[in-house]
Amino acid sequence: MPFFATSHIGPFTDFAVRLATVRPGAVEPTLAVTPANAAVVASALKRHGASASSLVKIATYPFPAVDGLPPGVENLSAAAAGEAWRIDAAAVDEALTRPAQEALVRELSPDAVVSDFHFHWNSAVAAGLDAPCPCVTFSVIGPFSVLAMRRLVGCCGSEEDVVAVPGMPGPEIRIPVSELPEFLRSAPDMFRRSSRTLDASFGVVFNTFVDMERQYCDAYARGVTRAAYFVGPVSLPLPPPVESHGAGVRQVA
């Protein structure tokens, strides 16, 4: 269940194809997106060849009604200049977005939910299903960026200040306050709520690999989450499939 941006939907689709390819007959992924984003998934599947569309299903749920967004504008790339923030705000608004997502998850009744960072309520949704259903968070960015944001949330200072990122391994990292994402400065509570999905979920899957960010992978795995998995880059050519050895089919939404 990716965030409403092509930069998130693409890696989620790549990851779904990878799971289905390496465990054929054992994993049946479903990409859960809003109607206008189904075409983004279909386009991403085409990169993997004709067979990819048969490996990964697409399920849709309605995009919430958002003041200032015309019908059908459901992706950051489709929003007019100055209006993209409305999509960001809708994505983390539990009252707006959770009901449709939860209804779809309950309808599909998956064996596991792979959720984007923004949808912090999906751990609770998965936990509330009748059958055991772990919720895993898939992060399209690496642990360096996630750790830095967690350390800098609520950072105070003027636009002219330069702040050090506390608690990071390795050499000191200093960042001008003017270059920090706006949500870290103006909406820290929103980011903290989203961070809780990482803490409450079964684990976090990162679109990175250990040799590129080893010290940050180690720091994240030791001090932040129950389990961390570094599986990227998921856009690389797929490995040959392996036999499932009689494993039962697992549905992943």
* pLDDT tens digits, one per residue of 104-116: 999 999 999 999 9
CA distance 179 to 194: 21
Using one digit for the tens of pLDDT, what is the confidence trace for 42-67?
999 999 988 888 999 999 999 999 99
Residue 22 lies in a domain: yes
CA distance 144 to 128: 32
**Model confidence at 156, in pLDDT bands (50, 70, 90)?**
low
Q: How far is CA 188 from the centre of its chain?
A: 19
In angstroms, what is the C-alpha Rg of the chain?
Answer: 19
Summary mean pLDDT of the chain:
88
Domain count, the chain: 1
Residue 174 lies in a domain: no
Distances (CA, A) of 24 to 19, 50, 241: 8, 16, 7
Residue 176 lies in a domain: no
Residue 223 lies in a domain: yes
State the pLDDT at residue 95.
96
Residue 147 lies in a domain: no
Share of the chain above pLDDT 90, in %: 60
**Contact assessment for residue 64 and residue 100, using Cβ atoms and an 8 Å cutoff:** yes
Domain that holds residue 248: 6-142+201-252
Residue 157 lies in a domain: no
Residue 151 lies in a domain: no
Residue 189 lies in a domain: no
| Most trustworthy range by pLDDT among 3-12, 16-25, 125-134 | 3-12
Buried b (16+ CB within 10 A) or exposed e, 32-51: bbbebbbebbeebbeebeee
State the pLDDT at residue 246.
46
Torsion angle (degrees, nearest 10) of CA 105, 106, 108, 113:
40
